[in-house]
Amino acid sequence: MSGDGVVEVPGRRGLLDEVEAAEADLRAAAEARPVADQSDLTAYFAAVIAADQKVEPRDWMPEAYRKGLIRQIAQHAHSEIIGMQPEGNWITRAPSLKRKAILLAKVQDEAGHGLYLYAAAETLGVSRDELVDLLLQGRQKYSSIFNYPTLTWADVGAIGWLVDGAAIVNQVPLCRCSYGPYARAMIRICKEESFHQRQGYEILYTLANGTPAQRAMAQDAVNRWWYPSLAMFGPPDRESTHSEQSMAWKIKRFSNDELRQRFVDMCVPQAEVLGLSLPDPALRWNEQRGSYDFTPPDFDELFRVIAGDGPCNRQRMAHRRRAHAEGAWVREAAAAYAAKHRSSDAG
């Protein structure tokens, strides 16, 4: 417990420190930007990356860098928006007014993350409308984790702890991504994700220290969310398609397997504080590696869910399409209002 009586997540501060260090370096990089020779664009781009400077929207960039970033940022933005659904499912059923207010704020944060990320993608010359269309047509993906159902209140805790926790481990290195607008969005998002993780952890802590039935509910949620959370880091390195180029361009900094290991190593002491077990009989400390050995997730299941065959894929997309259609009048009204203001400003 911390001074305010709220349980602290072991290891949380270290990740936040990394985000703050990335933010300081990003500021320094902006100030130190060299006025280098820009007559050879390819060489200039390579020099910016090599010097850990940021590539900005005004800069020339290879087409594959631009396209790859659009794909990655869009997939990330879609995940934030679709990710509102599993938890939104519990807003009306949260067990107290306080829990309801916190969950509402958290789900709203996710909408905000989607907006920062769509805005970051737009700096690469694609419009948010286009990206939303690609999602609705099923031509762009979102994280497979959001195709799993939230069966009990404890799932909201498990999502905060494990799903937001895995998201942070994935995203903290992206605060150092070579593309400036994405790196800046990630810094802000990571700070908020850290709060999300803490709220989920606190829900589980409360349940784990409650009645035997509450404790069992918490354990059951952890059992169901553990492997899907491990799968969030993507396929094993030997099967990962985009990684190498992404590393060379300093978009991605660590491999899927490295990040997955880091997540496992963080979760074990956190689970101990909760007094809950992780559903892996093979989980044990490996003295030589200085890490925990663990059972990898079922990657066949991951590929099935990515291909559209998870428990909730159809439901999530149907809901998104309905919400988009029902929101059409709001978009039209906002556009009409903006146009009216533009013409009155001009007059």
Q: Which of 23, 87, 155, 193 binds Fe ion (CB under 5 A)?
A: 193
Among the candidate windows 90-98, 196-204, 214-222, 279-287, which touches Fe ion by CB under 5 A? 196-204
- Cβ distance 145 to 297 under 8 Å? no
DSSP secondary structure, 68-131, as one string: HHHHHHHHHHHHHHHTHHHHHTTGGG-SSHHHHHHHHHHHHHHHHHHHHHHHHHHTTT--HHHH
Of 110 and 122, which has the nearer Cβ to Fe ion? 110
Does 164 engage in binding with Fe ion (CB under 5 A)? yes
Backbone angles phi, psi at 292, to 5 degrees: -85, 135
Secondary structure (3-state) at 293:
strand
- Number of residues binding to Fe ion, judged by CB under 5 A: 6
Residue-wise DSSP of 11-74: THHHHHHHHHHHHHHHHHHHHT------SSHHHHHHHHHHTTPPB-TTS---HHHHHHHHHHHH
End-to-end CA distance of the chain: 60
Q: Is 196 in the site for Fe ion (CB under 5 A)?
A: yes
Residue 87 makes contact with Fe ion by CB under 5 A: no
Q: Which amino acid is at 38?
A: Q
Site string for Fe ion, 54-83 (x = CB under 5 A): --------------------------x---
**Closest separation in Å from C-beta 202 to Fe ion:** 14
Return the range that interacts with Fe ion (CB under 5 A); candidates 188-196, 215-223, 266-274, 300-308. Answer: 188-196
Least distance between Fe ion and beta carbon 247 (Å): 24
CA distance 271 to 14: 17
Q: How far is the CB of 168 from Fe ion (least distance, A)?
A: 8
**Which stretch, 5-13, 59-67, 195-203, 318-326, contacts Fe ion (CB under 5 A)?**
195-203
Question: What's the closest the beta carbon of residue 101 comes to Fe ion, in angstroms?
Answer: 16
For Fe ion, the binding residues (CB under 5 A) are 80, 110, 113, 164, 193, 196
